[in-house]
């Protein structure tokens, strides 16, 4: 992780002050200066901003705070659009209502010149654009904060018919623009940590660095290509969920070329109905695809808004835009499954236990009080009609109690919660009476039997034992090497400093032997 350079921060202070004042003025114009309340270290800038801009933009009249903030961030440009998207996953920080409004922040900007797009393609791929494509449309089909997309037809070396593709091209100098804004974000985060001790637990500097790394990955289109390829492999043979193929020959750091897909946008309900598609069946397929991504594969599309999904002529869902992806390791998937099962059966003791066992809630916290908080969160949600039950809202409210119980923030679950919120919104739009989690219930039950049943737990215990045993030879080798060094005098122990480390190694060895013996005796008794 990058360290904050205090000298550099100091040198940037005058520029950052002017930039912050300009930002505050934009916030004032959109009646969104409340955001500075999150950063008391920057709150002093609000008063001059109000004096400079007393008149509110008429477009914000009657809007909710989150909607006003979304408009302001959009006006501030690409870095702030991405910042708003990042904040939409942090309902624990900004609240559920604000996070929901920010999740609808439209990542759209005016297109840049097609000549610049062509120049980028030629520079990145090292060939004249006419040798790469028979046709390259000047008018982009989509323009967002980081890149825009042009339709094209490939030129094949063997004279074969060209293929219809979509070419994604980064905006000119977008990397430098983000770096300039990241200097400001780091400055505000560092100032906040130094002047607001109560906010240090939120690790603002670390949060900015995480955001910076995420954006850098998103601006390397080879990483997006790899994500699309992996997701496509995970669903190979599935006729209900498709991912466009990547043209690796025409892909580089600032250019991504994929198969062009055809279909009806998921948000165009009237067109879907006119084409004869069944909304309930679409939701069922979406629920299955989402479940398989999260639980089967642990690799999910993290930006599943309706504009990123199409329905093809056969009724299959086709996803695009793989810049934001989430991963869940096996342990997190098991935690999530156990937690959701506990909530669905209203077994709040089980939900509390999985949080404590995973280490997400410190042991010194009260299990009974945590159970009480869980009940207060879940009962109002599960008391609603089936179609209105929102697991995403449940998780959002759970994350809001993190401060009360010193819970450890799980970034991968925050992104998942945002994705679930988007998926639920799509489901209600297409089939208001349905609930996608109920539709996915058969998959949930089968997965639980295979992964959380007695046999699966035995396999998991065996896997953990094998992992431990694999480390034994290295441990023994280290002990033998240490013993040899002690014998020839090349290793001298300072017992006052190293007795704990030695005891830890011997206890680890003893634990492995005991576990192996217990598992062996248990297996022998089966």
- Indicate which residue of 101, 303, 321, 338 is catalytic: 303
More confident call, 58 vs 6: 58
Question: In the numeric block, which tokens belong to residue 52?
Answer: 């400079």
User: What is the chain's mean pLDDT, rounded?
Assistant: 81
pTM for the full predicted model = 0.77
Read off the pLDDT band of 457 (50, 70, 90): low
* Secondary structure, 3-state, 100-141: HHHHCCCCCCCCCCHHHHHHHHHHHHCCCHHHHEEEECCCCC
DSSP strand pairing (241-242 vs 317-319) = parallel
> Of the candidates 255, 257, 243, 258, which has an alpha carbon nearest to the alpha carbon of residue 310?
243
Read off the pLDDT band of 476 (50, 70, 90): low
Average pLDDT over residues 290-319: 92
Of how many residues is the chain composed?
Answer: 526
Distance in angstroms (rounded) separating the CA atoms of residues 495 and 504: 13
Q: What share of the chain is helix, strand, coil (3-state, %, to 5)?
A: 65, 10, 30
* 3 state SS of 256: strand
Would the pLDDT of 495 be above 50?
no
Would the pLDDT of 346 be above 60?
yes
Identify how many contiguous H helices and E strands the chain contains and give both numbers. 24, 11
More confident call, 444 vs 111: 111
The percentage of the chain sitting over the pLDDT mark of 90, rounded to a whole number, equals 38
More confident call, 190 vs 8: 190
Taking only the tens place, the pLDDT of each residue in 270-286 is 999 999 999 999 999 99
- What pLDDT sits at residue 44? 60
Average pLDDT over residues 415-437: 84
Task: HSE, CB side, 13 Å, CA atoms: give it for residue 232.
Answer: 16
Distance in angstroms (rounded) separating the CA atoms of residues 155 and 163: 8
* Greatest mean pLDDT among 33-37, 55-59, 328-332: 328-332
* Greatest mean pLDDT among 259-268, 417-426, 464-473: 259-268
Would the pLDDT of 494 be above 60?
no
Q: Answer yes or no: are the C-beta atoms of 288 and 443 closer than 8 Å.
A: yes
- What pLDDT sits at residue 515? 43
Average pLDDT over residues 341-358: 89
- 138 in active site: no
* 3 state SS of 52: helix
Would the pLDDT of 217 be above 70?
yes
Which run of H or E residues covers position 449?
helix 441-452
Read off the pLDDT band of 427 (50, 70, 90): confident
């Amino acid at each position: 992780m990058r360290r904050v350079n205090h000298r550099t921060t100091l040198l940037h202070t005058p520029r950052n002050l002017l930039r912050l004042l300009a930002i505050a003025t934009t916030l004032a114009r959109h009646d969104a200066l409340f955001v500075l309340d999150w950063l008391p270290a920057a709150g002093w800038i609000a008063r001059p901003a109000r004096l400079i801009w007393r008149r509110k933009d008429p477009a914000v009249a009657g809007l909710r705070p989150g909607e006003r903030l979304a408009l302001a961030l959009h006006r501030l440009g690409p870095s702030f659009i991405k910042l708003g998207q990042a904040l939409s996953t942090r309902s624990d920080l900004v609240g559920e209502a604000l996070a929901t409004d920010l999740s609808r922040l439209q990542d759209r900007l005016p297109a840049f010149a097609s000549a610049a797009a062509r120049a980028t393609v030629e520079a990145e791929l090292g060939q004249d654009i006419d040798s790469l494509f028979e046709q390259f449309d000047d008018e982009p089909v989509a323009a967002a904060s980081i890149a825009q997309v042009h339709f094209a037809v490939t030129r094949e070396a063997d004279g074969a018919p060209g293929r219809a593709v979509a070419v994604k091209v980064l905006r000119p100098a977008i990397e430098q623009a983000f770096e300039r804004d990241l200097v400001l974000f780091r400055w505000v985060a560092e100032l906040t940590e130094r002047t607001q001790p109560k906010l240090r637990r939120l690790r603002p500097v670390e949060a900015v660095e995480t955001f910076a790394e995420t954006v850098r990955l998103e601006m390397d289109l080879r990483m997006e290509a790899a994500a699309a390829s992996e997701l496509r492999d995970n669903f190979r043979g599935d006729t209900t969920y498709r991912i466009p193929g990547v043209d690796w020959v025409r892909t580089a750091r600032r250019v991504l070329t994929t198969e062009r897909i055809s279909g009806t946008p998921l948000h165009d309900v009237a067109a879907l109905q006119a084409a004869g598609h069944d909304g309930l069946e679409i939701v069922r397929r979406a629920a299955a695809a989402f479940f398989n991504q999260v639980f089967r594969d642990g690799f999910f599309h993290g930006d599943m808004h309706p504009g990123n999904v199409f329905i093809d002529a056969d009724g299959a869902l086709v996803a695009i835009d793989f810049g934001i992806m989430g991963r869940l390791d096996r342990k997190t998937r098991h935690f999530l499954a156990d937690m959701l099962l506990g909530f669905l059966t209203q077994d709040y003791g089980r939900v509390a236990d999985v949080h404590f066992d995973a280490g997400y809630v410190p042991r010194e916290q009260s299990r009974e009080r945590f159970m009480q908080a869980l009940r207060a969160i879940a009962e109002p949600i599960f008391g609603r009609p089936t179609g209105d039950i929102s697991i995403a809202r449940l998780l959002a409210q759970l994350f809001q109690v993190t401060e009360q119980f010193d819970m450890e923030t799980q970034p991968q679950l925050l992104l998942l919660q945002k994705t679930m919120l988007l998926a639920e919104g799509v489901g209600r739009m297409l089939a208001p009476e349905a609930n996608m989690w109920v539709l996915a219930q058969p998959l949930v039950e089968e997965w639980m039997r295979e992964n959380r049943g007695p046999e699966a737990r035995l396999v998991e215990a065996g896997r953990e034992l094998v992992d431990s045993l694999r480390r034994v030879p290295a441990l023994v080798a280290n002990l033998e090497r240490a013993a040899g060094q002690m014998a020839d005098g090349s290793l001298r122990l300072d017992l006052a400093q190293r007795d704990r480390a030695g005891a830890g190694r011997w206890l680890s060895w003893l634990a492995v032997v005991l576990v192996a013996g217990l598992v062996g005796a248990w297996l022998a008794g089966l």
